[in-house]
């Protein structure tokens, strides 16, 4: 009797409905996250080459990864990429956000147009941009006609990274712009009006009111940008192939090549864990440095 | 209220799903041979006929075939199948470097040990070709076709600039470029194929084989191309860039069509592409040998982009599968059918002397040029570190020469030293 009572309490109708609703997600997570994650963790501390049993090797993969100059170069390339990408992405996104404020009719259509680049196939747009940036492509042909100079967009280490940053920014600026636009809409008009009454100029209002009050959205964009940077694969893979001299090789390219071209999945697993940790550390650092609490009293 | 049985079923279902993620070795069939072929219509049409003939004649175990079920590249799919235990008995479209990797992982069998192997080499006239496919007496893949790299030139542009035949030496190319090239506007030749590691097959390695008479660029753990042939090839690349006779890349367009470049390294697979997209240009193409410093005395060596066939270790019908291979590769009528369907030269050295192929080549000038080079075209070095070897070649040799940051000799020495170091570390 008591036992039945206990079970009834444990398995109430609400609990079962809740479990059923959450069950699908839990099952999905178990299959597509927990199980691969378990394998990833196991691979990172073992030696496995697809067909044999994993053999525990302790820190071997860790030491291999941190001593691998190509992997370290790939991580450094992400920092170089961020140095070019962040100003372009933030500049472009702010222009989109402020621009949208001044669009009268058809605002939703304009916003959707910006999103189009975001949902475009990365492969397709990389192929198009590879042609545009080619030393014999339309951009260089135009430049050569005007100035007599061809710019080695994809053959100089810095310019090649800039070319990739421009392509990725083109893809994401609209999306980031919409996030920032939502932040702009959330700023009470009264605050801006009050600042105007106090004779605050446009620059002062931007730097003292608008941007600080958009801090949550700016942080969100910054976090997304960091995640995008560490996840870069398609654009450098197609546009520069990681060259020249591995200057645009990314950690994701390294992981892919190590696992599926060099057939060293254990080494690649450790690389992916390190990339995840570095990404997390950089996001936390960015939050520490730039995140501010915005409270509207 | 829902019973505990439902919760239990949910848990069991989840567990079953998870269990399905584990590696399972599918039971291999012994009553038929399973074959995977390259996923393109031309090759598929050949295998359809060949397999039908084999099955109709009841020459051995029946064969079933399908194209490699891939949306990306064949290597990934083959690897996935091997891990899942769903690989076939035979698989075509395997390049030599991947075959060596599979051999290192113990996944393919040594075909040289199969009964009838020697007879096949004799029957198919492929003994000279096999030199590039043997490693330590083992043959892990048997080449089906061999596609030499040669240089396509626009015949009309050559003629307009005083050349009645395609350039065969660096000096010929320089002379032509002096007349044709206009810095920043049009170029004599596309010298570098691209940035990816595979592109080295179609530039430096092709030039090196031509300059060295087909000498290997790698042996065991040592890179061998820091020699006179390597230096000649490197100097050629360097001079073409320093003079502005070639562009950093030709990604924007097919340079032969507009005359942006008058020459470029191309393979026989480009014939169909040009026939479909640029038929007018194809009509104006003349095929020349791979260029080198010295004038050619015999047929010049070059690189061969070959694909082979492997038999997987887990196959339970290995001998029967090899018997099928022996038949399909040894039959001259099927070799001719392959040629007609795919346009790719079978890997045999008698293509221009065997009457069986005479009619085909009589009416096909470009195909004849490629067939002429099959016996002197060499596959990539047999190494499981192909990617790293060619990435170093790109980053330390070709790219510095393109940008003019290093002298040819210094770049060559650096690339070879780094390759040796990498191979030593990798063991």
Collapsed DSSP state (helix, strand, coil) of residue B221: coil
Q: What are phi and psi of B151, to 5 degrees?
A: -105, 125
For the stretch A178-216, pLDDT in tens is 999 999 999 999 998 999 999 999 999 999 999 999 999
Residue B10 has a pLDDT of: 47
- Cα separations in angstroms, B178 against B162, B235, B286: 12, 17, 20
Tokens for B292? 């080198």
Q: In chain A, how many domains are there?
A: 2
DSSP one-letter string for B266-299: E-THHHHHHHHH-HHHHHTEEEEPPPBSSPPSSS
Do A81 and A32 share a domain, yes or no? no
Do B110 and B91 share a domain, yes or no? yes
B-chain residue closest to A34, CA distance: B18
Which chain B residues are within 8 Å of A260, Cβ to Cβ?
Answer: 75-76, 79
Counting Cα atoms < 13 Å in the Cβ hemisphere of B335 gives: 28
For the stretch A126-149, pLDDT in tens is 999 999 999 999 999 999 999 988
Which chain B residues are within 8 Å of A6, Cβ to Cβ?
Answer: none
Q: What is the pTM of this model?
A: 0.84
Residue B196 has a pLDDT of: 86
ipTM above 0.85, yes or no: no
- Cα separations in angstroms, A221 against A175, A236, B20, B403: 9, 22, 39, 37
- Domain of B120, CATH number, reads 3.40.190.10
Residues of chain A whose beta carbon is less than 8 angstroms from a beta carbon of chain B are: 7-8, 11-13, 16, 19-20, 23, 27, 30-31, 35, 49-51, 130-138, 144, 148, 150, 152, 154-156, 240-246, 257, 260-263
Do B55 and B91 share a domain, yes or no? yes
* DSSP designation for B417: H
What average pLDDT does range A216-239 have in this prediction? Answer: 95
Q: What part of B 373-402 touches A (C-beta under 8 Å)?
A: 384-385, 387-388, 391, 394-396, 399-400, 402
Q: Closest Cα of chain B to A10: distance in Å?
A: 11
Do A167 and A285 share a domain, yes or no? yes
Do B169 and B252 share a domain, yes or no? yes
**Chain-centre distance of CA B426, in angstroms?**
25
Q: Closest Cα of chain A to B128: distance in Å?
A: 30
Measured between alpha carbons, how far is A47 from A44 in angstroms, rounded to an integer?
Answer: 8
Do A33 and A91 share a domain, yes or no? no
Burial of A293: CB neighbours in 10 Å, binned 0-12, 13-18, 19+? exposed
> The domain containing residue A201 runs over which residues?
66-290
Q: Which of A135, A137, A241 sits opposite B196 (nearest CB)?
A: A241
Measured between alpha carbons, how far is B291 from A99 in angstroms, rounded to an integer?
Answer: 57
- Domain of A216, CATH number, reads 1.10.3720.10
Q: Does B422 touch chain A (CB under 8 A)?
A: no
Q: Which of A225, A231, A228, A244 is nearest to A161 (CA)?
A: A244
Q: Does the pLDDT at position A2 exceed 90?
A: no
Q: Closest Cα of chain B to A151: distance in Å?
A: 10
Measured between alpha carbons, how far is B169 from B419 in angstroms, rounded to an integer?
Answer: 29
Do A220 and A137 share a domain, yes or no? yes
- Domain-located, residue A50: no
Sign of CA dihedral A24, A27, A29, A31: negative
- Domain-located, residue A118: yes
Measured between alpha carbons, how far is A150 from A155 in angstroms, rounded to an integer?
Answer: 11
Do B199 and B277 share a domain, yes or no? yes
Q: What part of B 142-181 touches A (C-beta under 8 Å)?
A: none
Do B353 and B396 share a domain, yes or no? no
Tokens for B252? 């924007």
* DSSP designation for B393: I
Q: Which of B2, B75, B253 sits opposite A136 (nearest CB)?
A: B253
Do A97 and A187 share a domain, yes or no? yes
Residue B329 has a pLDDT of: 93
Residue A138 has a pLDDT of: 92
Measured between alpha carbons, how far is B221 from B71 in angstroms, rounded to an integer?
Answer: 35
Measured between alpha carbons, how far is B245 from A74 in angstroms, rounded to an integer?
Answer: 33
Residue B331 has a pLDDT of: 92
Q: Tell me whether residues B2 and A245 touch, CB distance under 8 A.
A: no
- Domain-located, residue A219: yes
Q: Does B21 touch chain A (CB under 8 A)?
A: yes
Tokens for A218? 């700016």
Cis amide linkage into residue B359, ω under 30° from 0: no
Do A97 and A146 share a domain, yes or no? yes
Do B224 and B261 share a domain, yes or no? yes
β-partners of residue B154 are B285
Measured between alpha carbons, how far is B273 from B282 in angstroms, rounded to an integer?
Answer: 10
**Chain-centre distance of CA B416, in angstroms?**
23
Q: Tell me whether residues B75 and A243 touch, CB distance under 8 A.
A: no
- Domain-located, residue A89: yes
Q: What is the mean pLDDT of chain A?
A: 90
Cβ-Cβ pairs closer than 8 A, A with B, add up to 115
Percent of chain A topping pLDDT 90? 68
Residue A7 has a pLDDT of: 54
DSSP one-letter string for chain A: -HHHHHHHHHT-HHHHHHHHHHHHHHHHHIIIIIHHHHHHHHHHTEE--SSS--EE-TTHHHHHHHT-HHHHHHHHHHHHHHHHHHHHHHHHHHHHHHHHHT--TTHHHHHHHHHHHHHS-HHHHHHHHHHHHSTTSHHHHHHHHHHS----TTTSHHHHHHHHHHHHHHHHHHHHHHHHHHHHHHS-HHHHHHHHHTT--HHHHIIIIIHHHTHHHHHHHHHHHHHHHHT--HHHHHHTTT-STTTT--HHHHHHIIIIIS--HHHHHHHHHHHHHHHHHHHHHHHHHH-------
The CB density around residue B249, as the number of other CB atoms within 10 Å, is 22
Q: Tell me whether residues B194 and A241 touch, CB distance under 8 A.
A: yes
Do B116 and B262 share a domain, yes or no? no
Contact B142, B133 (CB under 8 A): yes
- Domain-located, residue A52: no
Q: Which of B14, B184, B250 sits opposite A150 (nearest CB)?
A: B184
Q: What are phi and psi of B218, to 5 degrees?
A: -150, 140
Q: Tell me whether residues A137 and B251 touch, CB distance under 8 A.
A: yes
- Domain-located, residue B361: yes
Measured between alpha carbons, how far is B229 from B208 in angstroms, rounded to an integer?
Answer: 6
Do A139 and A169 share a domain, yes or no? yes
Domain boundary among B378, B393, B409: B378
Do A243 and A133 share a domain, yes or no? yes
- Domain-located, residue B73: yes
Q: In chain B, how many domains are there?
A: 2
Do B289 and B357 share a domain, yes or no? no
Do B210 and B313 share a domain, yes or no? no
**Chain-centre distance of CA A209, in angstroms?**
27
Q: Tell me whether residues B14 and A35 touch, CB distance under 8 A.
A: no
Do B298 and B326 share a domain, yes or no? no
Measured between alpha carbons, how far is A28 from B18 in angstroms, rounded to an integer?
Answer: 10
> The domain containing residue B127 runs over which residues?
33-147+305-378
Would you give per-residue pLDDT tens digits along chain B (427 residues)?
445 555 544 444 444 444 444 444 556 677 899 999 998 888 999 999 999 999 999 998 999 999 998 766 788 888 888 888 889 999 999 988 889 889 988 999 999 999 999 999 999 999 888 988 888 889 999 999 999 999 999 999 999 999 999 999 999 999 999 999 998 899 999 999 998 888 999 999 999 999 999 999 999 889 999 999 999 999 999 999 999 999 999 999 999 999 999 999 999 989 989 999 999 999 999 999 999 999 988 899 999 998 999 999 999 999 999 999 999 999 999 999 999 999 899 999 899 899 999 999 988 899 999 999 998 999 999 888 888 999 999 999 999 999 999 999 999 999 999 999 999 987 7
Q: Tell me whether residues B195 and A49 touch, CB distance under 8 A.
A: no
Which chain A residues are within 8 Å of B105, Cβ to Cβ?
Answer: 49-51, 263
Collapsed DSSP state (helix, strand, coil) of residue B33: strand
- Domain-located, residue A54: no
The residue ranges of DSSP E strands in B167-217, in sequence order, are 187-190
- Which of A36, A167, A244 is the best substitution to test chain B (most B C-beta atoms within 10 A)? A244
Contact B293, B211 (CB under 8 A): yes
Owner of token pair 């839990």? A26
- Cα separations in angstroms, B227 against B197, B212, B413: 22, 9, 9
Do A101 and A217 share a domain, yes or no? yes
Owner of token pair 């039908």? B52
Residue A4 has a pLDDT of: 59
- Domain-located, residue A56: no
Residue B220 has a pLDDT of: 86
Do B185 and B225 share a domain, yes or no? yes
């Amino acid at each position: 009797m008591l036992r039945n009572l206990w079970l009834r309490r444990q398995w109430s109708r609400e609990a079962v409905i809740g479990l059923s609703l959450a069950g699908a997600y839990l099952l999905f997570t178990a299959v597509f996250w927990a199980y691969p994650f378990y394998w990833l963790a196991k691979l990172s501390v073992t030696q496995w080459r697809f067909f044999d049993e994993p053999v525990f090797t302790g820190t071997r993969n860790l030491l291999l990864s941190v001593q691998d100059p190509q992997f370290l170069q790939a991580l450094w390339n992400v920092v170089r990429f961020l140095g070019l990408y962040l100003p372009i992405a933030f500049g472009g996104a702010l222009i989109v956000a402020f621009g949208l404020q001044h669009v009268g009719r058809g605002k939703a259509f304009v916003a959707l147009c910006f999103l189009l680049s975001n949902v475009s196939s990365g492969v397709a747009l990389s192929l198009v941009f590879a042609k545009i940036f080619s030393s014999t492509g339309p951009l260089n042909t135009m430049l050569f006609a005007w100035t007599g100079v061809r710019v080695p967009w994809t053959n100089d280490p810095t310019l090649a990274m800039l070319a990739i940053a421009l392509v990725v920014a083109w893809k994401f600026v609209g999306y980031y712009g919409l996030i920032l636009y939502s932040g702009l809409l959330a700023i009470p008009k009264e605050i801006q009006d009050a600042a105007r009454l106090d004779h605050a100029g446009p620059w002062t209002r931007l730097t003292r009111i608008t941007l600080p009050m958009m801090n949550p959205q700016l942080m969100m964009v910054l976090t997304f940008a960091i995640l995008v940077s560490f996840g870069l694969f398609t654009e450098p893979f197609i546009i520069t192939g990681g060259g020249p001299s591995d200057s645009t090789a990314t950690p994701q390219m390294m992981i892919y090549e190590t696992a599926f071209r060099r057939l060293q999945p254990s080494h690649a697993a450790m690389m992916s864990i390190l990339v995840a940790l570095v990404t997390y550390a950089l996001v936390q650092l960015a939050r520490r440095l730039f995140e501010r609490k915005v409270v509207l009293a | 209220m829902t019973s505990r049985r439902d919760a239990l079923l949910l848990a069991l279902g989840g567990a079953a799903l998870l269990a399905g993620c584990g590696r399972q070795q599918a039971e291999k069939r012994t009553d038929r041979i399973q074959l995977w072929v390259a996923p393109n219509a031309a090759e598929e049409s050949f295998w359809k006929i060949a397999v039908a003939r084999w099955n109709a004649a009841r020459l051995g175990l029946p064969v079933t075939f399908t194209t490699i079920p891939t949306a990306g590249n064949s290597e990934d799919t083959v690897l996935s199948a091997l891990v899942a235990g769903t690989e076939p008995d035979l698989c075509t479209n395997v390049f030599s470097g991947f075959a060596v990797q599979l051999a290192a992982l113990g996944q393919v069998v040594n075909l040289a040990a199969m009964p009838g192997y020697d007879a096949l080499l004799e029957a198919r006239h492929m003994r000279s070709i096999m030199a590039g496919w043997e490693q330590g007496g083992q043959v892990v893949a048997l080449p089906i076709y061999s596609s030499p790299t040669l240089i396509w030139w626009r015949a009309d542009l050559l003629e307009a600039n005083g050349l009645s035949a395609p350039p065969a030496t660096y000096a010929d190319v320089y002379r032509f470029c002096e007349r044709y090239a206009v810095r920043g506007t049009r170029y004599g030749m596309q010298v570098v194929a691209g940035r990816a590691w595979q592109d080295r097959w179609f530039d430096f390695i092709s030039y090196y084989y031509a300059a060295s008479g087909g000498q290997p660029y790698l042996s065991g753990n040592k890179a061998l191309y820091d020699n006179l042939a390597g230096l000649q090839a490197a100097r050629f690349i360097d001079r073409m860039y320093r003079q502005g006779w070639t562009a950093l890349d030709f990604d924007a367009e097919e340079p032969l069509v507009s005359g942006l470049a008058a020459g470029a390294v191309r393979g026989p697979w480009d014939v169909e592409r040009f026939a479909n997209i640029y038929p007018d240009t194809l009509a104006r193409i003349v095929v020349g040998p791979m260029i080198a410093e010295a004038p050619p005395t015999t047929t010049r060596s070059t690189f061969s982009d070959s694909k082979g066939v492997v038999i997987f270790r887990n196959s339970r019908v290995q001998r029967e599968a090899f018997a099928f291979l022996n038949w399909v590769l040894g039959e001259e009528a099927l070799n001719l059918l392959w040629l007609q369907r795919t346009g790719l030269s079978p890997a045999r050295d008698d293509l221009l002397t065997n009457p069986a192929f005479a009619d085909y080549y009589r009416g096909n000038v470009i195909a004849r040029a490629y067939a002429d080079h099959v016996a002197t075209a060499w596959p990539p070095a047999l190494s499981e570190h192909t990617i790293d070897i060619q990435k170093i070649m790109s980053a330390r040799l070709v790219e510095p020469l393109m940008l003019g940051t290093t002298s040819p000799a210094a770049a060559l020495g650096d690339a070879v030293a780094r390759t040796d170091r990498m191979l030593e570390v990798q063991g």
